[in-house]
Chain A
Amino acid sequence: MKNLLDSKISGRWTTRRLAPVLVTVAAATLGLTLYAAKDDMQSRIDPAAFTRPLKGDQRLVHALNRLTFGPAPGDLEAAKQLGLDKWLDQQLHPEKIAENPEVAKRLQPLETLRMSSAEAAEKYDPPQQQLQQGQAALQQNRQQNAQQNRQQQQQTQQQLQQANQAKQAKQKGKQGDPRQQDRQMARLAAMEPTARRAAFAGQRPNQVLGYDLTEAKLYRAVYSNHQLEEQMVDFWFNHFNVDISKGADRVLTTAYERDAIRPHVFGHFRDLLQATAESPAMLFYLDNWQSAAPNEQGNQQANQRGKQGALRAALQQKAKGKQQARGINENYARELMELHTLGVDNENQPGGYTQQDIINVAKAFTGWTIQQPRQGGQFVFNDRMHDHGEKIVLGVKIAAGGGKGDAEKVLDILAKHPATAHFVSLKLARRFVADDPPEALVERMAKRFRETDGDIREVVKAMVTSPEFFSEGAWRAKVKTPLELVVSAARATGANVGFAMPISTRLVDLGEPLYRKSEPTGYSTNAAEWVNSAALLARMNFALDLTANRLPGSTVDIGKISSDAQDMSVLLPITARRLLGSDPSPQTIASINKALADKTPTPELVAGLVLGSPDFQRR
């Protein structure tokens, strides 16, 4: 039977005999029992399943499904030839792998990726001009008192917000009809990349930064050979989430991912923490740039300088979007402990902190601000905004007069805290192993974190070489997030993605607009968040549209993944195995056969059904 199947394969499948062999082993031993073990939306897995090892090529299939955005045609064979251990080692050291030239080719026209925030703001942020006009008007009205100035600014802000809202509303209205959206996209997709980008920049200049960033993320996810690194960039950006649609973050997010996140994804956690804490994008997003000690000396000095000085100070503040009121802002301090490091919000637990701890951390961070955020300004420590008093954080005393160093001591305390080691390990294991990973594994990872002073590469290595990672409990235990779903579909079909924006608009329907998670929690990787009626329908529609080449900008050559056989008993299993990387469930095969009996389905439809099947929603 196997020979018969293989002999009918007509696509450009490099090592055609290997794939079915690889995956048949996997499905034979697993499949039914595992599915049955999961009994509810919590995806609870029998703990014993984490002690039953995966065997043979299953391990390889599992590693590629879990540590990449899904195998592309030829990936399993290439990895097998290399050997699993070596493949893992290379993925952990991406500098050892030559990058796919397709990445550079697609990133090249996206010039804002290489710009400083200031350059980007100057070139692509027209509302800035409005602000500048507002400032010019302000200069003319020097005699007006500060109260009136504030009102003016409020109105400007309001108008800006309303204009923004109207724009969003307009876009939202279009979401109702994905086909119309696709028609607009089709016009853009038909253009050469540089012309397309120029057209887009002419129409919506202030969205170019988000456009470049989103395109780049999808191109890298689909084409990069550094798959685990791209997974880690996504993981850490999401862990230290910022929202590109919040004010100045429109111009600050590109540099944030490039300079604060990407260089540290396999580095030391303490460095990553420092880089995010100092990044203008995070300082703006969680409001720390405005946090200042009450009655700061600057104000008093300004008052002493007399009326003219005060006026100048007021104008400077206006330029920075600041107000006369002074005081701490707790936003960053709280999320730093709850979401970035300790991960708990119960003072009675180990690593728990109190409201007073939050206030003291906020005080330590006063003065960590941005020079002219809307012009894409840099991080600056402003001593005059800083609270110079003594602070006690989690029982540790930080002596008075430490200046910028106060907050660095806080970061030291947090990065070294055992609760942080545990929380970061848990979050990694939730993403890469299972929604509810075994505590023994998490503890082993946390131990590695503590031993290596938070060396992320070592922690990840501990995870991906663990018996739990290569266990039945982890096998297909994760439901793909929308990003994972669309990218794995593009990779599995070997799609040529020349214009990724239509994919990113589908991600909005699927519930994961890229770079636009407004809450600091980032997106969940838990099944319960992603499996529901609206999302499943959107997934099915995406699958059918992709393979039928109805998604503008992406082309699927069905010959690569399908067979020229008309007979469903040949066509379906071949297509399914190639797309899934493992055997489909008998139920999926039977369902498709039943529904399409007496019909002559196209290979495109068959492939779309496999991508929309329950089987393809897991990895």
Chain B
Amino acid sequence: MQTRRLFLRSSSIAAFGIGAAPLWLTRAVRAADQPRSKKILVAILQRGAMDGLSAVVPYGESPYYALRPNLAVAKPGGDQGVIDLDGFFGLHPAMAPLKPLYDEHQLAIIHAAGSPDITRSHFDAQDYMESGTPGRKSTSDGWLNRSLTQAEKSAKVSPVRAVSIGPSLARTLRGSNDAIAIANLEGFQVRDTSGADSFESMYESTLDKVMSGAGHETFEAVKLIESIRKQPYTPANGAQYPNGLGQGLMQIARLIKAGVGLEVAFADMGGWDTHSNQPARMQTLLTEFSGALAAFHKDLGERMSDVCVVTMSEFGRTAKENGSRGTDHGHANVMFAMGGGVKGGKIHGEWPGLAPDHLYEQRDLAVTTDFRDVLGEVIAKHLGNTQTTSVFPGYANPQFRGLLVG
């Protein structure tokens, strides 16, 4: 800890206060002292419960069309039809940007995945999905924070090791490892530099533990991000990020490319609670979601081999449509995994079917893959943290699904 603080303080003499540090200096210091992270995990939470049955459509199931006369996505063929994946499942047409990635085996789909907890409360289900302990509300930290291996006391860890995109630190990144929230890189500074040193010292020395923890992480990160912030950013390979989730993923891509030691990142996207007017809303939501993922992949190019993106939503929606061209709260959903080491071009997991007897409580898609099996495998095989039961306490027998190589 001491070493780390010393390093940061000395490396940033000029970065704050008098003027900007010469770029070569910051770069050199970074190269020498900040180990490039080999593997990076990006977790995305789709808040509000995405309708997985509209995203990856089981068009080969006849009950699907009987259950959803007003909002089923049509069979392949035509503008509004699904994009066929394997003769049974198809992608929503708004997800077209992801089809090439599926074909290149860069994108894997895990269907009928979800939480074993039966709650249909957004609040509780998101809490469980972020803590990684379904059914247990007392867990104070999150699985993404626990997925980081504890640094040695003397080791240098990057202050931007764990980043949450947005104005608050996501529940899943809270915990004993330092983690920061960044709304956008441009705003990540004290603009009036005459006050910066005072604030740093105040938040460093305060006895208010809540404030000092966050303050300490903040000022270390501000210095490291300063040089990134000052360089204009153009996404590579002509990638075009959409707004919303896309802007969040672009911040993550910038951090990855700057090589400042990012290991895990979190972004979220809301608006998925489609109780009404679902077809139009899903069109919009999936366009943003797919466009963001595809742009991120394109922007990172080769670097994507070190990066794994995994997506989740707190629960799925009813198999049957409701009375207002929407769906209510359900159970299982679909997850996506994209990038390095992923065995893509495949739909993983067992499909439970939509026949009445196969539905959970005769209304929802049943869960056949625990979301912790998916996350546990990514953390073990991609991040190399095989202490799965530490990341997911109380989950004794994770079953990896062969989602990743290794």
A contacts, CB < 8 Å to B? 32, 35-36, 38-43, 154, 157-158, 161-162, 165, 168-169, 172-173, 175-179, 286-287, 290-292, 294, 321-331, 334, 338-339, 345-346, 355, 479, 509-511, 518-521, 527-538, 540-541, 544-545, 548, 585, 587-588, 590-592, 594-596, 601, 605, 608-609, 612-615, 617-618
Contacts and interface: CB of A to CB of B under 8 A. Distances in A.
Contacts, number: 241
A41 B202 contact: no
A544 B122 contact: no
Given A39-B209, A325-B321, A533 B181 contact: yes
Q: Is the interface of A mostly helix, strand, loop or mixed?
A: helix
B280 A588 contact: no
Contacts of A588: 202, 206
A509 B32 CA distance: 34
Contact of B168 (A324, A511, A595, A617): A511
Nearest to B199: A540
Contacts of B48: 519
A269 to B, nearest CB: 21
Contacts of B86: none
Given A544-B192, A585-B207, A518 B270 contact: yes
Contacts of B212: 614
Given A345-B124, A518-B270, A595-B201, 10 more contacts: A162-B284, A176-B184, A176-B187, A330-B329, A345-B120, A346-B119, A537-B222, A587-B205, A595-B198, A614-B211
6 contacts: A165-B284, A321-B277, A531-B214, A533-B221, A541-B187, A591-B201
B54 to A, nearest CB: 14
A587 B180 contact: no
Interface in B274-314: 275-277, 279-281, 283-284
B323 A328 contact: yes
A83 to B, nearest CB: 32
A591 B243 contact: no
A466 B129 CA distance: 38
B123 interface: yes
A287 B222 contact: no
- Interface size grouping (class) on chain B: 35 or more
Interface centre among B122, B202, B215, B217 (most CB of A within 10 A): B202
Contacts of A169: 243-244
A545 B110 CA distance: 49
Given A536-B218, A545-B192, A41 B277 contact: no
Contact of A609 (B199, B273, B275, B326): B199
A324 B70 CA distance: 9
Interface in B328-350: 328-329
A614 B206 contact: yes
Contact of B182 (A518, A533, A592, A612): A533
Contact of A614 (B180, B215, B324): B215
Contacts of A154: 279-280
Given A41-B140, A587-B205, A614-B206, A548 B192 contact: yes
Contacts of A177: 186
A355 B120 CA distance: 9
Given A334-B120, A528-B174, A479 B323 contact: no
Given A355-B361, A532-B181, A511 B167 contact: yes
Contacts of B213: 41
B206 A585 contact: yes
Give 10 closest A-B pairs by Cβ, nearest first: A327-B323, A511-B167, A290-B324, A591-B201, A169-B243, A533-B218, A532-B169, A614-B211, A595-B198, A35-B207
Contact of A329 (B207, B247, B323): B323
Nearest to B170: A532
B190 A541 contact: yes
Contacts of A32: 207
A172 B207 contact: no
Contacts of B194: 601, 605
A594 B186 contact: no
